[in-house]
Amino acid sequence: MNDVMLRFVHISDTHFSHDPNYNRDYAAYIPAVGTRALVEQLNALPFTPDFVLHTGDVAYDPLPEAYPVARDVLSKIKYPTYYIAGNHDDPAALQTIVMGRDDIATPLHYEVEINGAQIVCVDSNGPAEPPAGFVTDEQLAWLRALCEADDDRPLIVAIHHNVVEVGVPWLDEWMGITNGDAVHQALRPARQRLRGVFFGHVHQNLTIVRDGILYSSVLSSWAQLHAWPGMTRTTPDIGAEPGFNVVTITREQTFIRHHRFAVDV
Ligand SMILES: [Fe+2]
C-alpha cells in the first residue's frame, strides 16, 4: 500500500477532572489513568501517524481547572494533536491551556491542510440543551461553502456530536445534533471527496453510511457505552477496554482499524 496520503489516530472523550478522585460507578479508573495509558500506547506505535485527532470532551465538565492536568498528560503525545470542543468542555480553557492559543475562536472551528488533505473541524456546541448539540447558521454557511468549493483534496471532517441517526433513541433524541440533517445536507456536495466524518461523544465505535458519507466514532479512553439493536438507550459497558482508531487515507480508499488496550488500575 504505497499510495498512503495520510494516517492519523482518532481519540476522544478523555473527560479529565481536576479532582484526582473523580470517577463514576460505571468506570473502572479515573479519567487521567486511562488517558495516560492511551498516550503510552500512541507513543509506542510502530509507525508515525501524521497527527492525532481528539474529537472532544477533553474535560469532564466545563471547568477551567480541569485543563492543566489534561495539558500535562496530552502534551506528552509525540505527534501534532488537533482538538475540537465537546459538550463537557470549556472552549476558552481548552484553547488557552491545552491548545496554547492566544486568540480564542468562538465558535472553535478551523481547517488545516496536511499532506494534501483538508481537515475541517466543526463546533457542534451551538444553543441546545446539553448533551445535545447544535450547529449554528453561521457554521453551516461556513461548512456549506467549504463543501461546495471547487476543490479535489480529500476531505476529513471532525465534529463532537453524532450527526445522523445511529438507531438508539437515547443517542438520537437526547445526545445528537438537533439539526443534524442540516449538517448532513451541508456536507453532501462534497461527498465525492469526503473520506469520513469523525465524531466522539457516544463512547463506542459506530459506523454509519448515509448518501455515501461515512460517519465514524471511537471509544473513550475512560468509560464505554453499549447498545444492542432494539434497546432504547445505551448501557454502561462496564469492564470494556478503552481504545483508539487508526485511520489511513489513500488515493482511493479510507481504512479504519479499531484498537483496544488494557489499563493497569
Ligand atoms: Fe460529549
- CA of 153 relative to ligand 1 center, distance in Å: 29
- Is 1 a residue whose pLDDT tops 70? no
- CA of 13 relative to ligand 1 center, distance in Å: 7
- CA of 135 relative to ligand 1 center, distance in Å: 14
Per-residue pLDDT tens digits for 12-40:
999 999 999 999 988 999 999 999 999 99
User: Per the confidence metrics, is the pTM higher than 0.95?
Assistant: yes
- With cut-offs at 50, 70 and 90, classify the pLDDT of residue 265: confident
- CA of 56 relative to ligand 1 center, distance in Å: 7
- Is 249 a residue whose pLDDT tops 70? yes
- CA of 199 relative to ligand 1 center, distance in Å: 10
Distance CA 237, CA 205 (A): 12
For the chain, give every domain's residue range.
4-260
pLDDT (average), residues 229-243: 95
Per-residue pLDDT tens digits for 211-228:
999 999 999 999 999 999
Distance CA 257, CA 64 (A): 34
- CA of 193 relative to ligand 1 center, distance in Å: 27
- CA of 161 relative to ligand 1 center, distance in Å: 7
- CA of 46 relative to ligand 1 center, distance in Å: 30
- CA of 59 relative to ligand 1 center, distance in Å: 10
Residues 241, 260: contact at Cβ < 8 Å? yes
Q: In sequence order, which residues have a C-beta less than 8 Å from that of residue 173 and are 6 or more positions away?
A: none
CA distances from 73 to 23, 194, 209, 222 (A): 17, 32, 34, 14
- CA of 1 relative to ligand 1 center, distance in Å: 35
- CA of 110 relative to ligand 1 center, distance in Å: 19
- CA of 83 relative to ligand 1 center, distance in Å: 13
- CA of 251 relative to ligand 1 center, distance in Å: 32
Distance CA 178, CA 46 (A): 40
Give me Rg for the CA atoms of the chain: 17
- CA of 130 relative to ligand 1 center, distance in Å: 9
- CA of 202 relative to ligand 1 center, distance in Å: 7
Distance CA 47, CA 224 (A): 27
Per-residue pLDDT tens digits for 106-135:
999 999 999 999 999 999 999 999 999 999
Q: Which CATH superfamily is domain 4-260 in?
A: Metallo-dependent phosphatases (3.60.21.10)
- CA of 31 relative to ligand 1 center, distance in Å: 14
- Is 256 a residue whose pLDDT tops 90? yes
Per-residue pLDDT tens digits for 59-92:
999 999 999 999 999 999 999 999 999 999 999 9
- CA of 55 relative to ligand 1 center, distance in Å: 9
- CA of 258 relative to ligand 1 center, distance in Å: 20
pLDDT (average), residues 198-204: 98
Residue 242 pairs in a beta bridge with none
Mean pLDDT score of the chain: 96
DSSP string, 105-154: PSS--EEEEETTEEEEE---BSSSSTT-BB--HHHHHHHHHHHHSS--S-
- Dihedral (CA of 106, 73, 201, 128) sign: negative
Which grid cell is 246? 487508526
Backbone angles phi, psi at 130, to 5 degrees: -55, 145
Decide: residue 206, CB within 10 A, 0-12 exposed, 13-18 middle, 19+ buried: middle
End-to-end CA distance of the chain: 38
pLDDT (average), residues 251-263: 96
- CA of 14 relative to ligand 1 center, distance in Å: 10
